[in-house]
Amino acid sequence: MAFKVLVVDDSPAMRKMIRRVMDMSGIELGEYLEAGNGQEALDLLRSHWVDLVLTDINMPVMNGEQLLREIGNDVLLESIPVMVISTDRTEARLERMMALGARDYVTKPFVPETLGRAMERLLLGEGHADHRP
Amino acid sequence: MQITGHNLLLTEVASDVLESMCFLGVLGPAEDASLPGEEVILCRLEFSGDGGGSFGLAAPRKIAEVIAENFLGQPTEEISRVQIEEVLCELSNMICGSFLSRLRANTIFDLTHPRCEPADAARSSVALSGNVTAQMLDLDEGSLFLWLEANA
């Protein structure tokens, strides 16, 4: 099965790096969509169905927290699993993002295998796991 | 350069980021604490939360190219100056975010989007400020300079 994934990050370098991790992990990729902030992501989600959203938190225009709120408030989008990828490893941030509906939280830096396994778990529907070091 | 607990944490965090994301080993703190005289690419960001400040990273062009090559997984000749800057910006974001959340485990910090600046500006601001954690790190390929300046 080929999966459709949306990566939301204001860093083009990080979007490229995540694409590389996906290619290395062996996850069959049907479509790889990219957005530079939450608003661009919402615009894409309203015209493309995806199997997984990976989002950063600190972004201009609309941050990851607001994106999670928007997805959670939209009946057409709320079932899409969202994984947060952030440098912030504080318990407060993790709890806030999970309360907003994030299904997983991976901290940067990560070794590629950690992110690959986390994506596999969500795409295969095995639910939440905590990947903080 | 005085070595403090903050210096050790900054070294540990930067080593973690460089090893995990760029497959580059840090040899340790550099003995020579001066900024390199060659062309330097510099990134800076601001943070706010329980106290604010700024973070900066300066890398000689040659080191920046190696970092970008390893991060993006493509040869240097295929990487543009803009892409090198984007990688250094992401590196700054990761090192600063990771440092702050290890330093203050219960505080949420917001980081601005990193931007590249002329190296001379950074030299001046680091030299003038008295509230800076600054660390030069040795890598196989050369040295990398990092600093974090807390607002008074």
Splitting chain A (133 residues) into consecutive groups of 10 residues, what average pLDDT does each group show? 93 93 87 96 96 94 96 95 93 92 94 90 66 42
**ipTM, 2 dp:** 0.81
Residue B131: pLDDT band with limits 50, 70, 90? confident
**Contact between B86 and A10 using a beta-carbon 8 Å cutoff:** no
Instruction: Determine, for residues B83 and A12 on separate chains, whether the beta-carbon distance falls below 8 Å.
Output: yes
Q: Give the whole-angstrom CA distance, residue A15 versus residue A9.
A: 6
- Comparison of pLDDT for B1 and B16, the residue scoring more: B16
User: Which of A102, A61, A60, A109 is CA-nearest to residue A81?
Assistant: A102
- Lowest-pLDDT range of A112-116, B99-103, B123-127: B123-127
Three-state DSSP state, A26: coil
B contact residues 101-130, partner A, Cβ 8 Å cutoff = 101-102, 104-113
- Judged by a CB distance cut-off of 8 A, whether residue A100 touches chain B is no
User: pLDDT at position A25, please?
Assistant: 85
Dihedral (CA of B79, B80, B81, B86) sign: negative
Residue B15 to chain A, least CA–CA distance (Å): 10
Q: Chain B 41-100, CB below 8 Å of chain A: which residues? A: 68, 71-73, 83, 86-87, 89-90, 93-94, 96-98
pLDDT per residue over B39-96, tens digit each?
Answer: 889 999 999 988 899 999 999 888 999 999 999 999 999 999 999 999 999 999 999 9
Residue B146 neighbours by CB distance under 10 Å: 24
Q: How far apart are the first and last CA of chain B?
A: 20
CB B113 to CB A58 under 8 A?
yes
Instruction: Name the nearest CA neighbour of B140 among B56, B66, B79, B72.
Output: B66
Q: Does domain A3-123 have CATH number 3.40.50.10860?
A: no
Domains of chain B with bracketed CATH: 5-31+38-150 (3.40.1550.10)
Cα A120 to Cα A83, A116, B46: the distances in Å are 12, 6, 35
Note the pLDDT of residue A98. 96
In chain B, what percentage of residues exceed pLDDT 70? 85
> Where do we find the tokens 């997983």?
A104
pLDDT of residue A66: 97
